Amino acid sequence: MSKDFIPAAKPIVGDAEREAVDAVLRSGMLAQGAEVAAFEQEFSDVLLDGRSTVAVNSGTAGLHLGLLAAGVGPGDEVIVPSFTFAATANAVALTGATPVFADIELAHYCLDPEHVASVITERTKGIMPVHLYGHPANMPAFRQLAEKHGLALYEDAAQAHGATLDGAPVGTFGTFAMFSLYPTKNMTSGEGGMVSTGDSEVERLLRLLRNQGMQRQYENEVVGFNARMTNLHAAIGRVQLTKVGDWTRTRQANARFFDKNLDGVGVPAVADGAVHVYHQYTITVPEDRDGFVAALKDEHQVGAGVYYPIPNHRLPSFARAEDLPNTEQAARSVLSLPVHPSLDDEDLERIVTAVNTVAKAGA
Ligand SMILES: Cc1ncc(COP(=O)(O)O)c(C=O)c1O
């Protein structure tokens, strides 16, 4: 009997989201308005200990506008990981600044503070760690480096809604932080991004830059974009925000089950003081990672994702000659299992059996 395929990711959208969108449609107020303002306030209350947030139409726009609002531009360098989605470095490059790639720590796949220290130059303006897979980067070490060298910290929290470090939520460490609301993230608004900041001038500029440079209509103060979130997207996001806490707890319980039962593969470590929100549950396999992924899919109907097979510095869009051995090793050996909150007990058992069987067979 063929089993149902277990997808690597599964957005959960229900009646409450549909009703919220319908209410906005009926109101006729589709563009950025009261729903977006309410979503910003609620996101700040639920996930950011009250730090201000600005909603935009994608996470990438959030990074781009955040960097511009923080004063990053031509001649500056911003240190980023190469082992991340390309949007991190793209956003730096789009400001006219240069992304400088640093290596990661293999334990948590986030930027390595020691390697970051070695690539600081007099042009370095800031460091932008990524809380990859939902695990917080080592922000206390980056804060120390930033203070020592007079640099800014920015956070790519695209994958880390609700993650904390020593009790502080990610998104409260940097000049600004960005959360993606893409459908496969831990919560979604359809497409969208949220930028948090504790700096009132950065917040003012973010609000201007997302709206053609206008605070008052037709009185454009700076050259800006249309990066506004719609009320329709905010309505979806507001409903999802009421569920993300439970979904995160389910992701964490699923991760605990895998930690306990997987055999013959490397399971994700969690740093002292860190709360991981398992946007991805990422394992390492000793050899032939691509064969392992194919066997999970073809023989066991278990979807698995590879995030990310080509490090940014080797993409044709950047094509740099850096030597980043941990990044290369991670890109060769990681694979992410389904960990989303729609999995039931039978799915979890099937995933464990599939991984352990493929590992044992030496795929
Ligand atoms: C680490 C990281 N940075 C940036 C982004 C960009 O976010 P978005 O897809 O919402 O533009 C994503 C998500 O895709 C991401 O995973």
The yes-or-no verdict on residue 3 having pLDDT over 80 is no
Q: Kindly write down the DSSP assignment for every residue of 216-267, as one continuous string.
A: STT-B-S---B-PPPHHHHHHHHHHHTTHHHHHHHHHHHHHHHHHH--SSBP
> What confidence tens digit (pLDDT) does each residue in 65-114 have?
999 999 999 999 999 999 999 999 999 999 999 999 999 999 999 999 99
Mean pLDDT across 136-157: 98
The atom of ligand 1 lying closest to the CA of 307 is 16
pLDDT tens string 209-264:
999 999 999 999 999 999 999 999 999 999 999 999 999 999 999 999 999 999 99
* Active-site annotation holder among 10, 125, 148, 185: 185
Q: Closest ligand 1 atom to the C-alpha of 181?
A: 10
The percentage of the chain sitting over the pLDDT mark of 90, rounded to a whole number, equals: 98
Of the CA atoms within 13 Å of residue 86, those in its CB half-sphere come to 13
Q: Tokens representing 206?
A: 């973010």
Q: How far is the CA of 270 from the centre of ligand 1 (A)?
A: 22
Question: Mean pLDDT across the chain, nearest whole number?
Answer: 97
**Integer CA distances (angstroms), 73 to 69, 93, 126, 196, 363, in order:** 10, 9, 11, 20, 47
pLDDT in tens, 26-72: 999 999 999 999 999 999 999 999 999 999 999 999 999 999 999 99
Q: What would the DSSP string read from start to end of 46-78?
A: HHSTT-EEEEES-HHHHHHHHHHHTT--TT-EE
| Averaged pLDDT for residues 117-128 | 98
pLDDT score recorded for residue 16 = 98
> For residue 278, is the peptide bond before it cis, meaning its omega torsion is within 30 degrees of 0?
no
Q: What is the mean pLDDT of residues 309-315?
A: 98
Name the band, by pLDDT with cuts 50, 70 and 90, for residue 2: low
**Residues with a CB atom less than 6 Å from ligand 1:** 58-60, 84-85, 87-88, 130, 156, 158-159, 180, 182, 193
Position 1 pLDDT exceeds 80: no
d(C-alpha 315, C-alpha 144), whole Å = 31
User: Which domains, from first to last, does the chain contain?
Assistant: 15-241 (3.40.640.10), 245-361 (3.90.1150.10)
